[in-house]
Amino acid sequence: MNLYILTQQLSSKKMYRRVRIKFTYKIMNISIKEFFKEQNVKGATVLAIGLVVAAGVGAWTVLKVRSYSNTLSVTGSAKVAVVSDSVKWASTITRTVTEEGLQGGYIVLAKDLQAVQIFLTKSGIAQNEITISPVFSNLNYKQNDSAPREYTLNQTITVDSKDLAKIDQIVKNTQQIVQSGVIFSTNAPEYYYSKLSEQRVALLANAIKDAKARADQLAKTTGKQVGSLQSASSGVVQVLSKNSIDVSDSGQYDTSSIDKDVMITVKATFVVK
């Protein structure tokens, strides 16, 4: 095909497209004007509201993204050594009797209880520190159904005291009760600390300080600085034996030792700038 003719054809097509686009624009422009003329202020108001809402959502999204991307979450902990200030000591007296001798068994158990109370009083335990449970009766299972029925009678004596040293000495000398003919068994003393609520307040503050120090160290590696505390949540209080690491998600309370460690953890989120 002749180059001149081809060039003229292309030029004609381009001109046709320009005219078509220009004509379409005019039609659209007239249509839009007519639309707003019919809708009056309503269309303009809806459009304006839409633009404002869109701008607001966009700004909120940017703010939210920036806020979450500029934070650092760390865990801090604090621990303090405490000494137990109360003790609970439980012991049990027991008698096994036949069904026919059940009534006599209660009488014997009452005498055993009296012997234990005399021992405790002589050892310096006040009456208001002693709690006595009811007598519990349990039928003993036997494979031979024709054998006489037997019951075990037991009663628990609990001592609550603030004098830990005294209870420790008494527990070591209970053989005197056994030597008097009483069937006597004892549990290990349980040691408690009564000021956990006060310690918890101080520990929370120290745990947040520890979290802040850890956050500072982490932020330094990226050349940033830690700002204000954004949020914090505390874990459960752990009452542990001295130097123990036996923690639990639901909390731990050691009663076997007099010397304890009280520990708490905090998850803290800081602003990073």
Residue numbers of the domain that contains 211: 71-83+194-272
Phi and psi angles of residue 197, each rounded to the nearest 5 degrees, phi first: -60, -40
Return the H-helix or E-strand segment holding 17.
helix 3-39
Q: Is the pTM of this model over 0.75?
A: no
Q: How far apart are CA 99 and CA 150, in angstroms?
A: 6
Strand partners, 132: 157
Q: How far apart are CA 270 and CA 273, in angstroms?
A: 10
Q: Are residues 180 and 105 in the same domain?
A: yes
Q: How far apart are CA 184 and CA 117, in angstroms?
A: 12
Q: How confident is the model at residue 69 (pLDDT cuts 50, 70, 90)?
A: low
136-152, pLDDT tens digit by residue? 999 998 777 778 899 99
Q: How many domains does the chain have?
A: 3
192-247, pLDDT tens digit by residue? 999 999 999 999 999 999 999 999 999 988 888 999 999 999 999 999 999 998 88
Q: What is the DSSP string of 54-113?
A: HHHHHHHHHHHHHHHHTEEEEEEEEEEEEE--EEEEEEEEEEEEESTTHHHHHHHHHHHH
pLDDT of residue 158 exceeding 90, the answer is: yes
Q: Are residues 96 and 44 in the same domain?
A: no
Q: Are residues 159 and 171 in the same domain?
A: yes
Q: Are residues 43 and 77 in the same domain?
A: no
80-126, pLDDT tens digit by residue? 999 999 999 999 999 999 999 999 999 999 999 999 999 999 999 99
Return the H-helix or E-strand segment holding 272.
strand 259-272
End residue of a domain, out of 14, 35, 67? 67
End residue of a domain, out of 169, 192, 215? 192
